[in-house]
Amino acid sequence: MTKTKKQPLAKNVKIRILIIFIVFTFIVIYSAANLIYRAGKTKVTIQIAPNDVVITINDTRVSNKSDCWLTPGKYHLVAQSNEHLSTYERDFEVQDEPLKIYATLSALDDEGRQFIEKHRQEFVTVEGLIGAQLNTEGEKERNENPILNHLPINTALYSISYEYNTDDQLIINVKTEPEYIDIVVEKLKTFKDINISSLNIIFHNENIFKKYQKNSEEDIKQFIKTAYNLPSNYKINEIKQLGDYYYTTIYIDDYKNNLHYAHYRIILKKDENSWKQITTPQPILTTYNTPDVSKDILDIINSY
């Protein structure tokens, strides 16, 4: 019985194996280089219309319709096309989350408008990206701050809106007359997915309780009357105790119309033989206007 000799690999098979090895090696080296280059950096996606725009970030040229990788920090982007279109500039900060920058240049004259019309599809594409980005950011924002699902509210009696301050902190603005403050408070309480004690709520009407006069009255109600020089139509509710805190509401008594309104919540503590206020009385006590009191206690007082 004769043995069959092994035939040597065909030359073209060897070449294919060599090519596969080289390609695989290149992919590994390229991937490793990318990982090293991107280490500690964040992806920034940029697309600005028109496509021929010249983009620089901190005076370094970057490609349009591309991803660049930047280390965390503050940057300045400039995008220019031609003298008939505006210049787009933006300061932005890179952190850990990927960032997307979409923008369109606007026309400065008739030639600019004609240019935009000729490149209409480029602008439409970016406008679509901007719209989708706004929807995504809006949804994320509403998930983080569920109150935004209910605002703004505008009625004949009051308005409830929101804004962000320079520290990017959400502020709820309430504008109404004193007669309708309690209606606003009750409206906010109807939002079952919201804890009003955690919101930064600002009532934009005069608060007479900002004028506080320290005194040594032993009777708590007399202390409150003296502290705020209460007019005769302001009344004080039953005083309640919660641990070391004493709380109540001060309200306007419209006895002619048999109405009680504009309830302001107040917290006090014993101060030897007298009292001290913990915070300026507010329609709603929150962790912002009453930071030294726990939210659980504020929840109880706000329900009074």
pTM, entire model: 0.64
Predicted local distance difference test score (pLDDT) of residue 134: 85
* Tens digit of each residue's pLDDT (9 = 90 or more) over 102-139: 999 999 999 999 999 999 999 999 999 999 988 888 88
Strand partners, 102: 47
* Phi, psi torsion values for 99, nearest 5 degrees: -125, 140
Is the domain of 160 the same as that of 295?
A: yes
On whether both 139 and 159 belong to a single domain, the answer is no
b/e code 110-149 from CB counts within 10 Å (16+ = b): eebeebbeeeeebbebbeebbeeeeeeeeeeeeeeeebee
Q: Note the pLDDT of residue 165.
A: 87
- On whether residue 80 sits in a domain, the answer given is yes
Q: Which residue has tokens 């940029």?
A: 46
Beta strand spans in 95-184 (E): 99-104, 153-154, 158-164, 170-176
- Is the domain of 67 the same as that of 200? no
pLDDT at position 2: 53
pLDDT, residue 127, reads 93
Tokens of 186: 């009750």
Q: What is the pLDDT of residue 9?
A: 52
Identify whether 152 is preceded by a cis peptide bond (ω within 30 of 0): yes
- What is the extent of the structural domain holding 86? 42-144
Short-list 302, 248, 301, CA closest to 275: 248
- Same domain membership, residue 105 and residue 176: no
What pLDDT, on a 0 to 100 scale, did the predictor assign at position 34?
55
Which of 167, 176, 171 has the alpha carbon at shortest distance from 147?
Answer: 171
Clarify whether residues 71 and 191 are in a common domain: no
Residue spans of alpha helices (H) in 66-119: 110-118
Domain of 103, CATH number, reads 2.60.40
Q: How many CA atoms lie within 13 A of 133 on its CB side?
A: 15
User: Is residue 5 in a domain?
Assistant: no
The answer on 246 and 132 residing in a single domain is no
Output Rg (C-alpha) for the chain, integer angstroms.
Answer: 33
> Is 105 among the domain residues?
yes
The residue from 88, 113, 144 where one domain ends is 144
Tens of pLDDT along 241-252?
999 999 999 999
Residue 111 lies in a domain: yes
Same structural domain, 57 and 133? yes
- Mind listing the pLDDT tens digit for each residue in 36-75? 656 778 999 999 999 999 999 999 999 999 999 999 999 9
Residues 198 and 120 placed together within one structural domain of the fold: no
253 and 132 in one domain?
no
Q: For 19, which DSSP code? A: H
Using the 3D structure, point to which of 144, 161, 194 is the last residue of a domain: 144
Q: Which of 96, 114, 144 is the last residue of a domain?
A: 144
Confirm whether 24 is domain-assigned: no
Residue ranges, the chain, pLDDT below 50? none
Question: How much of the chain, in percent, has pLDDT values that exceed 90?
Answer: 75
Residues sharing a CB contact under 8 Å with residue 239, sequence separation 6 or more, in sequence order: 220, 221, 246, 247, 248
Residues listed for the chain: 304
